[in-house]
Amino acid sequence: MNNEIKPPLWILLELTHKCPLECAYCYNQLDFANTKDVMSKEDWFRVMEQARDMGAVQLGISGGEPLLNKDVVEIVRKANDLKFYTNLITSGVGAPKGVVAKLKEAGLKTVQLGIQSHDKNTMTLITNNKSAYDEKIAFAKEIKEAGLQLIVNTCITRQNIHQVGEIIEFAESLGANYLEIANIQYYGWALKNVNALLPSQEQITKAREVTKYYREQRKDMKVFFVVPDYFATRPKACMNGWGTTFLTINPDGVALPCNTANTLPLTFPNVKEFSIKEIWNESKAFNYFRGDSWMQEPCRTCDEKEKDFGGCRCQAFALTGDMNATDPVCIKSPNHGVINKKIEDSMIFSEDKIIHRNRLNSLTFM
């Protein structure tokens, strides 16, 4: 494998882990409340400048809920001045009045809005927020009135997978340019809730058929369907390969090669102590899974390792306790049975109650 270190292309700023929603599938780690908002506006500016100097071109602004950060408009303006293509990833809930117009004026290009369902009761069940439905509709209207591109992202679980057709029509009614029907990936809170959330193979097959039918009818709105890892036979090329393309900065300044990498037993550098160039090129954590020297069999001699890079390290660690293991999703993995067991258990314990992220947090970390 090519060990040449190329600069990051896509930067994600997680401005805060605070959020008005308590989504059962949140990818943030279970102890997310321990991640404090210590990055100042100037810290974010410095990160963007350094990343742009290295050649980064795409900038995502996320959270938690990024609109809870008082400096979000200035951060977008700075990104626009640096010639980044900016994308806001938001719940649309709790947004300050008039913020969309201000973001558009600051140079924001695209908004990705999370919509869990066309049905208010289902959305309330998943997010544990009774006002989310009405706030999201109002926010989507603001986005379109401002002339911004709207991407609707719907995370699919057992609770809403039967609604795929109605969700597509709902997204179209909101004026979405793109709809991503994303079967969730099981990390963090989603893994905690896997028995309550994981659909069956039959449900996924039906949802794909419905999506295909609706996709063929739509000319203006593009519809994408993302299959969950657990029903694949080969792992995804996670983040396009560790430390090759994506760079995430947490609210506490910790730099990560993917959103959930801090669940691994590695020590990640902080942008308050090191430059982006030092972090990307020299840090032990960012170099740990570059190349193939870390790989175990069957990955090391697999003819597909250039495609999937051994799969997801976070998933391997979460399911096997070994971050160097072959991603259990792969049918060649000696740990593939772990995935089969997860699927079997989710069918047996399908009535498990959802644990919302703040609810467990209040029990554990007070």
Is 314 marked as a binding-site residue? no
Is 19 marked as a binding-site residue? yes
Degrees to nearest 5, angle at CA 222 with 221 and 223: 115
Report CA-CA distances (Å) from 189 to 129, 307, 339. 17, 28, 17
Is 23 marked as a binding-site residue? yes
Sign for the CA dihedral angle at 100, 103, 107, 110 comes to negative
Please check whether residue 175 is in contact with residue 218, taking contact to mean a CB–CB distance below 8 angstroms: no
Question: CA Rg, the chain, in Å?
Answer: 20
Please check whether residue 256 is in contact with residue 47, taking contact to mean a CB–CB distance below 8 angstroms: no
* Collapsed DSSP state (helix, strand, coil) of residue 270: strand
What is the residue type of 163?
Answer: Q
d(CA 207, CA 164): 6
Which residues fall in the annotated binding site? 19, 23, 26
Which residues fall in the annotated binding site for [4Fe-4S] cluster? 19, 23, 26
